[in-house]
Structure 1
């Protein structure tokens, strides 16, 4: 896939970032450190030391912003994981 094709799949423009974050799992009892490499309203690219340990869905804590977002993995490549943010449905 070319860079242009990859960008066309995105519904939101992503900005490059370098933010500390935590992948939060097991009912908030466990975390995995990661770095956010790019970020948009709809998702992010994360760099992790052990991508195999990252579950299919989790909460992502953006430490500098003190924001917790629900996320699900949409791709994995080497030490990077692409996620999309899951918006809560209003009842």
Structure 2
């Protein structure tokens, strides 16, 4: 199957956080793939992930606004929006 992504992906093993909205606690996640345009996250257990959220990667001192694009219930693909 041909590659549909426009940006090269890099495999990572970073701890991340999906910032909680409206006072909700952040959701812990792992950043497994990272590119200029998006990210693949892995979350242990079930979680109610918002369509738009701030992804924080504390060890890298990074944060970015993202939009959820797909999920299979454990893996979540998101596109950077800002």
Instruction: Give the TM-score, by structure 1 length.
Output: 0.80
Alignment root-mean-square deviation, CA: 1.6
Shift of 1:49: 2.1
Instruction: Deviation per CA, 1:23-72: give whole Å up to 9, x if none.
Output: 00215652000000100111000001245411111000011111110001
- Note if contact 1:51-1:76 (Cα within 8 Å) is conserved in structure 2: no
Distance (Å, rounded) in 2 between the aligned partners of 1:24 and 1:50: 17
TM-score (norm 2): 0.88
Where does the alignment leave 5 or more consecutive residues of structure 2 unmatched?
Answer: none
In the alignment, which residue of structure 2 is the partner of 1:36?
31
Q: Name the structure 1 match of 2:63.
A: 68
Instruction: Structure 1: state its 5+ residue gaps.
Output: none
CA contact 1:51–1:81 (8 Å) conserved in 2? no
Larger Rg: 1
Aligned length: 82
